Structure 1
Amino acid sequence: MTNNRLTTSWGAPVGDNQNSITAGDRGPTLLQDVHLLEKLAHFNRERVPERVVHAKGAGAHGYFEVTNDVSKYTKANFLSEVGKRTPLFIRFSTVAGELGSADTVRDPRGFAVKFYTEEGNYDIVGNNTPVFFIRDAIKFPDFIHTQKRDPQTHLKNPNAIWDFWSLSPEALHQVTILMSDRGIPATLRHMHGFGSHTFKWTNAEGDGVWIKYHFKTEQGVKNISPEVAAKIAGENPDYHTEDLFNAIEKGDFPAWKLYVQIMPLEDADTYRFDPFDVTKVWSQKDYPLIEVGRMVLDRNPENYFAEVEQATFSPGTLVPGVDVSPDKMLQGRLFAYHDAHRYRVGANHQALPINRARNEVKNYQRDGQMRFDDNGGKSVYYEPNSFGGPSETPEHKQAAFPVSGVADSVGYDHNDHYTQAGDLYRLMNEEQRAHLVSNIVGAMKPVERDDIKLRQIQHFYKADPEYGTRIAEGLGLAVPESVK
């Protein structure tokens, strides 16, 4: 017979899990009921701090299979040969909402993939959009503050949202995507994913290229209207989470094709947009999509907290063959993501089963809260040393790149924030444009100050005169003469 007896956290059998120890039938509860105290104390500590952003999420396990030889571009081991499979875990999320918020809000979706490669873990941490609202990490805390709750009313604040966007014209491209039909995916399975930033691939010979990641859903892109989204949010706020779980559970495994755009290093100096500006895309006419492989999700988590909530991702979780770019937003994320996990989950978050590398980890990092392995045992605990401890392998250094200039607080050289947003608007058919205008007008009507509305209308007008005029008319305002 299987031993299935209930125990305390220290392994002792529990004799009564239904009744507290009291002084007589009606007497007060006794402090000596250590099982009760342990249960209550642990219950009080069951919630780790939720993520500041991307708090609401769903995840799944799967695999990545290489379908095209890209070894001439990168020495990354998991991309080394056609047919090679690498296990992975993915977490989808909304950005601004809290842990209990609705899945079907208008918001970008986080798209974070952890590859458990033979050379360590590799994370691609992006969104379901190819661009972002800002392009320098120094603006990120302020931007997220505008998406969160007002410190006085504890309500979402349209004044803050549109004031910030109107003062940050680089946001226009992403705002246009967010307010379009793509702003509310039908399910997590029916949306694309992007690495968003520019990264660098380096091959075995040390030659490099700039790249961008594109995950294309094999289920097709499907979106839902604001009216349907609001109805679902009221009836089933966990709709996307449930849909993903049920699809995998019944064997309808979601899949995405991974492609990259590849830019020669020297093109970065002459391309018509700054290729490191995350508010811009590279034209696929200039740099076509090249197939890399296929991602399939085929297994649900066994425990949400242990796997989805404790999963930690960072664009700084890199492997040999993948390097970073001068993208100012990416540079900030390299610090901020790891640091957020050290605060939220703990200094040893990388050792948790969901985050632990499948290959052996050898380093001199010791101690810290919740260290649950052998903590390096009795091995040498510093480096350099004369006792055969692990040492660096110079061939795995990140690729060198030249730098120049004066240390200063500087922006990007390119400040055309309107061409790509206007191009996107002109690509839309009339129905899509009408939806976009309606969504923006509805979102801006609660803004209390006309000067904020007019400032934002000017951005829309500069992207496309029709775009700005229709927004202005919907708000009962006129496009300022100064911008015409």
Structure 2
Amino acid sequence: MKPTLTTASGIHVVDNQNSLSAGPRGPLLLQDFHLIEKLQHFNRERIPERVVHAKGSGAYGTFTVTHDISRYTKAKLFNQIGKQTEMFVRFSTVGGERGSADTERDPRGFAMKFYTEEGNWDLVGNNTPMFFIKDPIKFPDFVHTQKRDPQTNLKSPNMMFDFWSKAPESLHQVTMLFSDRGTPDGYRHMDGFGSHTYSLINADGERVFVKWHLRTQQGIKNLSAADAARLAGTDPDYAQRDLFTAIANKEFPRWEVRIQVATEQQLQEWEARTGWNPYDLTKIWPHSDFPLIPVGIMELNRNPANYHAEVEQAAFSPANLVPGMGYSPDKMLQGRLFGYHDAQLYRVGTNHQHLPVNAPRCPFHNQQRDGSMAIHNGGAEVNYEAVTAQGSNPSGFGHGDKGWALSGVAGRYDSRGTEDDYTQAGNLFRLLPAQEKQNLFDNLAGPLSQVSEEILQRQLTHFDQADPAYGQGVRAAIEKRRTSKA
């Protein structure tokens, strides 16, 4: 039986086809509340899109523990082999708008929300283990270069490489972006990374630092530049379609969850040997130094019932950690601890955690009250906590973390020219097979053929310092491109 149509307040709508008018030709009457409400809601159907990661796809699933890591963390979601935790995952492109193509050359967001018995844990990452910058104060500038020119409203290779060529720390990620992995074949055939350095705390209060990895069990698959461009024109929602269809057909994608761990002393010794800051997001921890340790399996097995409610309104923040987990001195992580939650307050609303996709599955209680869409508003309970005469009994961050020692004079420190931004980028380049090297050269030659000579020469210098063959290959690809157009 078809349900009765009502207004948002539950009042029966008599006629949804004809507006209330003064006579058959109008004008219309302001008293037609259904018409007014219908148009008002229509005008407000779009919440502001994310500044980054605007276009995404999501699904529900489970995380299952396969290996005991209790020696590293007291977090209850890991406390028993075979234990399952419900979760939600959102994949996305990064720089494009909501209507952009899924196959653009761009990093891919890989954000996970675990609905644990101790609260929600959000692991917010990408399909790359590194990033373009190491200090969050550069983030708005970097993102602006990936968006549209303020005059032409066009994407601008000149803007992109002007920024990258002046920030050699970006070379590691730029190399990954313009390799074959810059255009993954959908979301099921790519790896995921927490990227940042986090920490784990065990029942004895001992802390190790950690990197999170998710290895696709579907196998890595990437699109050629030609296929990515073709699909952008013929099926711009390719990755969305692939993920939704696979789950609908019960071809549930799975990822193996692994970690790298290191004590503070081990990281200090590694930094002394390599010269690399272990908390620098533009660097990785080599597997030869810090082997991968298996933890569990993530499986996606249920599509959302409503895209807007569950995917568009999904809100993530790396600040959401459960007891047994902690942060690190990673500057980019420190910036994101503020930035992500603040973005959701603006984009979705003050009470975005009340929405079903964001709400914890465990009991929760706080003194937060009121604001827009206050679904859980505390009822008759008091909205404050009384000060106790004896004082409180604080214990670190509440996660069992005893904290780490801080040192140094407060100030702004520019590491440009004092840190190694080239070796890891060169190592990545040297790992690529010959054909993938050539693809890298050709992929870079396209946008670099459109930049100013000053920017081009500055960027080529970075390639040279990573590996002379890198710079030589890009030069040859640019010359070939120019000759073919002559």
Same fold (TM over 0.5): yes
SS in 2 for 1:270: helix
Residue 392 of structure 1 and its aligned partner are, at CA, apart by: 7.6
Q: Any conservation in 2 of the 1:59–1:300 contact (CA below 8 Å)?
A: yes
Within 5 Å, give how 1:280-295 maps onto structure 2. Answer: 280-295=283-298
Within 5 Å, give how 1:136-215 maps onto structure 2. Answer: 136-215=135-214
Residue 473 of structure 1 and its aligned partner are, at CA, apart by: 2.8
Alignment correspondent of 2:67? 68
User: Partner amino acid for 2:432?
Assistant: M
Looking at structure 1, the residues matched to 267 and 413 of structure 2 have their Cα atoms a distance apart, in angstroms, of 18
Alignment correspondent of 1:133? 132
Q: Any conservation in 1 of the 2:207–2:401 contact (CA below 8 Å)?
A: no
Q: Does 2:326 align with 1:323? A: yes
Runs of at least 4 residues of structure 1 off by over 6 A? 390-394
SS in 2 for 1:329: helix
Alignment correspondent of 1:377? 379
User: Partner amino acid for 1:381?
Assistant: N
Alignment correspondent of 2:109? 110
Change (3 A) 1:3 1:239: closer
Within 5 Å, give how 1:12-411 maps onto structure 2. Answer: 12-271=11-270, 272=274, 273-373=276-376, 375-384=377-386, 396-411=399-414
Looking at structure 1, the residues matched to 351 and 402 of structure 2 have their Cα atoms a distance apart, in angstroms, of 28
Q: Deviations over 1:223-250 (max 9, x none)?
A: 0111111111111111100110000001
Looking at structure 1, the residues matched to 433 and 442 of structure 2 have their Cα atoms a distance apart, in angstroms, of 14
Residue 352 of structure 1 and its aligned partner are, at CA, apart by: 0.8
User: Partner amino acid for 1:419?
Assistant: T
Residue 410 of structure 1 and its aligned partner are, at CA, apart by: 1.4
- 5+ residue gaps, structure 1: 478-484
Alignment correspondent of 2:484? none
Count of residue pairs brought into register by the alignment: 472
TM-score by length of 2: 0.95
Change (3 A) 1:392 1:247: farther
Alignment correspondent of 2:431? 427
TM-score by length of 1: 0.95
Residue 4 of structure 1 and its aligned partner are, at CA, apart by: 1.2
Q: Any conservation in 2 of the 1:127–1:194 contact (CA below 8 Å)?
A: yes
Looking at structure 2, the residues matched to 29 and 41 of structure 1 have their Cα atoms a distance apart, in angstroms, of 16
Residue 475 of structure 1 and its aligned partner are, at CA, apart by: 2.8
Looking at structure 2, the residues matched to 290 and 218 of structure 1 have their Cα atoms a distance apart, in angstroms, of 16
Q: Any conservation in 1 of the 2:134–2:281 contact (CA below 8 Å)?
A: yes
Residue 152 of structure 1 and its aligned partner are, at CA, apart by: 0.4
Q: Any conservation in 1 of the 2:194–2:211 contact (CA below 8 Å)?
A: yes
SS in 1 for 2:106: coil
User: Partner amino acid for 2:442?
Assistant: S
Q: Deviations over 1:61-95 (max 9, x none)?
A: 00000000000100111111111100000000000
Q: Percent identity?
A: 56
Change (3 A) 1:328 1:396: closer
SS in 2 for 1:188: coil
Within 5 Å, give how 1:454-469 maps onto structure 2. Answer: 454-469=457-472
RMSD: 1.7
Looking at structure 2, the residues matched to 464 and 384 of structure 1 have their Cα atoms a distance apart, in angstroms, of 63
Q: Any conservation in 2 of the 1:61–1:298 contact (CA below 8 Å)?
A: yes
Residue 398 of structure 1 and its aligned partner are, at CA, apart by: 3.7
Residue 292 of structure 1 and its aligned partner are, at CA, apart by: 0.4
Q: Any conservation in 2 of the 1:106–1:184 contact (CA below 8 Å)?
A: yes
Looking at structure 2, the residues matched to 209 and 391 of structure 1 have their Cα atoms a distance apart, in angstroms, of 25
Looking at structure 2, the residues matched to 393 and 13 of structure 1 have their Cα atoms a distance apart, in angstroms, of 55
Alignment correspondent of 1:480? none
Q: Any conservation in 1 of the 2:325–2:399 contact (CA below 8 Å)?
A: no
Looking at structure 2, the residues matched to 433 and 228 of structure 1 have their Cα atoms a distance apart, in angstroms, of 18
Moved more, 308-317 or 394-403: 394-403
Q: Any conservation in 1 of the 2:194–2:213 contact (CA below 8 Å)?
A: yes
Looking at structure 2, the residues matched to 392 and 66 of structure 1 have their Cα atoms a distance apart, in angstroms, of 31
Looking at structure 2, the residues matched to 89 and 202 of structure 1 have their Cα atoms a distance apart, in angstroms, of 24
Q: Deviations over 1:29-80 (max 9, x none)?
A: 1111110000000100110000000000000000000000000100111111
User: Partner amino acid for 1:349?
Assistant: H
User: Partner amino acid for 2:52?
Assistant: V
SS in 2 for 1:459: helix
SS in 1 for 2:62: strand
Alignment correspondent of 1:439? 443
- 5+ residue gaps, structure 2: 481-486
Alignment correspondent of 2:473? 470
SS in 1 for 2:16: coil
SS in 2 for 1:383: coil
Looking at structure 2, the residues matched to 198 and 258 of structure 1 have their Cα atoms a distance apart, in angstroms, of 16
Q: Deviations over 1:133-167 (max 9, x none)?
A: 00110100000000000000000011110000000
Looking at structure 1, the residues matched to 446 and 395 of structure 2 have their Cα atoms a distance apart, in angstroms, of 57
SS in 1 for 2:10: coil
Residue 23 of structure 1 and its aligned partner are, at CA, apart by: 1.2
Q: Deviations over 1:164-183 (max 9, x none)?
A: 00000000000000000000
Residue 400 of structure 1 and its aligned partner are, at CA, apart by: 1.1
SS in 2 for 1:103: coil
User: Partner amino acid for 1:325?
Assistant: S
Residue 3 of structure 1 and its aligned partner are, at CA, apart by: 6.8
User: Partner amino acid for 2:303?
Assistant: N
SS in 2 for 1:91: strand
Q: Any conservation in 2 of the 1:184–1:229 contact (CA below 8 Å)?
A: yes
Q: Any conservation in 2 of the 1:323–1:399 contact (CA below 8 Å)?
A: no
SS in 1 for 2:188: helix
